[in-house]
Structure 1
């Protein structure tokens, strides 16, 4: 079945941005159990049929119009790497994040198998216009389900654009006003982050908090009346060692406000906004974290999230102008100092003889070099990653976790301690 639908205004901006800037997200999982490249290719073909945008490309039909189509799209690429061949998983991540997608030919998803014999790592890589973090988890789940019990004839899951699922009227002038405000760079006192040069190396680092460490952090956050995300924002603001507010880019899951909820759809259902976070050295850690929680709660309100998507309906610029404006803005200065995405993944960990034991998210969506930090909660543990061209990015994460450790230690049974990044 061929799928062809017009890019929504929001999707068109993300695609146009990807013509000049990185627009790649990925999920990396470790699975105990064996598979083969042929079995995995069969599973990928089945999942691509179930989620058509995985096999899509972008067809441009004019300066203001483009389409997602599955017509004449090549087979989904699968690269096979042998574990222990001098390429740790983080190196594979770095390689894949720096390989841009060719949107005009597609497909906008590809995969890497790191085969370890009795276990394997699977890296699923997407153009952001067809997937967000939750979409990546859905794809991983469906691939592993098919590996465990191959099935045919599973129903196709539609992926309508987020724009069409927003509650309320189609267009509000106030949406454009709020979107315009959100696109301004807040809190320039900390200084714009420099754009990276072509020779700057992109690096990925990953960490894992075990169940005891994760439980200690969650329990302390609940006791203090705040959230892990707010605590992270506070910790990273203090870790930057600057007196000015840190501009934190916060990823927002739009599925919570869309009607009907696109639960199993693979598509773009996320947006982001920038929240200045004062390190508050004169305040206690948890008092500052509670303040951040309240501010996050206000910004995650449906009336605040809606304009981040709907506002683009009132910005009818041609593709090339959007691309040029975003590229010029990114080269001039960074909109944020650090990006913090926090998501909880509720997919099974067992699939027949296969057991999913680790899940990391990574992304490359900026030229500024600002660290992109993704925290994934899965199986009672927290999986942390950072992607950046900043040589201090890993150090920033370690200092942030040191702040968390110091805040949790007084009353928690265990403390989150991350000494070194994983290889």
Structure 2
């Protein structure tokens, strides 16, 4: 594989030279495995998802290329968890997220096996250039399928066929193994060859706005994760349906109330899956097919459900092709800038302070629970894409439960925000 970075990818690459742009997904698994099996599974899954083994070649002044040439398999670090150290995986996430990837040598993904004998945690970390939340979920599923199958070499599960718009290797279904899944970058799946003035205006509205007061950093990235079990999750979803709001809107309302920014509305960053507006859809292809926008939510404008209805209206207005496509297409305007200048602009923008109070990303993962003798007990996400201290909250729904986490350099302040938000969410009648 060898292709030019798209304008959107080029901006993320340039940003990553100056700022953290890493994401992670963690699978907590009941059952046994070995480091050798995990390394074999990673090598096999790389053949299906080539972006697991890429680097940026020919990084010139204005352009770079993604290539698989000369890139080793992603590394698998092994950590042995003591019987009483149930939070070892949390410390691993805190260690791995700040570690930058060397984009010139690759790969842009790495793995950590936290082995506890009768169970294990698999921490997967990616440069945001090559993966989003959906990609991370697909890779976890494929890895666990390999680890749990006969001799750990079973085929990709049913329903994981090559998606529309993705490219398959000729003859890949002849028993030699699963076909590679590749799709063009998001930019190439958006109609229209040029960025328009309207794209710039919509992007400024989606991402702009006042800078909030800086969070007081404590100098260390902190990660905290928790779970809403089935009973709590079912009750919460039932209340959302009865009030006519989405879970995302309820989450934004709860965090807006918890942020309590005084007389001004809370600014909530919301992640959007672009697969819904790209044509053709990249399906299960690995890559960066996500964007984000900021909505203002008046956390004190009524009871929680009134605030949630306000948030639902604001979010739905942005989740349309007309509003989402410009968030990627606008980066075509940066093609004339050297990539170092792009990175400097991004760094300068962040140095002014965060443009949101909290980021809330919510995704539902259609992951099987059973993989032969293995059972997926939990899955948590994580992200480190800012040094501003603004809390990044990730919510993943799976098997009737919600798995939540927050990453921030604001330390106890971020954890306190999450506790208040959960109180608002779970105690609202």
- The correspondence of residues 62-81 of structure 1 with structure 2, limited to 5 A, is 62-81=60-79
Partner Cα distance (2:324, 2:188) in 1: 14
Partner Cα distance (2:192, 2:366) in 1: 29
In the other structure, the counterpart of 1:9 is 7
Q: Does 1:356 align with 2:376?
A: yes
The partner residue of 2:214 within 193, 202, 213 is 193
In the other structure, the counterpart of 1:121 is 121
Q: Structure 1, residues 332-391: CA drift from partner, whole Å, max 9, x if none?
A: 211211111000001211111111110000010001011000000011000000001112
RMSD: 1.5
Distance 1:327 1:169, change over 3 A: closer
> What SS does the corresponding residue of 1:273 show, helix, strand or coil?
strand
Partner Cα distance (2:273, 2:421) in 1: 24
Partner Cα distance (2:196, 2:358) in 1: 31
- The correspondence of residues 283-298 of structure 1 with structure 2, limited to 5 A, is 283-298=302-317
The partner residue of 2:414 within 378, 387, 393 is 393
Contact map agreement 2:206 2:295 (CA 8 A) in 1: no
Question: Which deviates more, 199-208 or 105-114?
Answer: 199-208
In the alignment, structure 2 segments of 5+ residues that lack a partner are: 155-175
Q: Structure 1, residues 150-204: CA drift from partner, whole Å, max 9, x if none?
A: 04521010131011112455543422332233342x244xx332474xx611110
In the other structure, the counterpart of 2:165 is none
- The correspondence of residues 7-406 of structure 1 with structure 2, limited to 5 A, is 7-84=5-82, 88-149=88-149, 150-151=153-154, 152-168=176-192, 171-184=195-208, 186-188=209-211, 191-194=212-215, 196=217, 200-243=219-262, 244-279=264-299, 281-316=300-335, 317-391=337-411, 392-406=413-427
Q: Structure 1, residues 32-58: CA drift from partner, whole Å, max 9, x if none?
A: 111111111111001111111110011
> What SS does the corresponding residue of 1:271 show, helix, strand or coil?
strand
Partner Cα distance (1:68, 1:393) in 2: 36
Partner Cα distance (2:178, 2:195) in 1: 36
Distance 1:180 1:318, change over 3 A: farther
> What SS does the corresponding residue of 1:62 show, helix, strand or coil?
coil
- Give the number of equivalent residue pairs: 400
Partner Cα distance (1:23, 1:285) in 2: 33
In the alignment, structure 1 segments of 5+ residues that lack a partner are: 411-423
Provide TM-score, normalisation by structure 1.
0.91
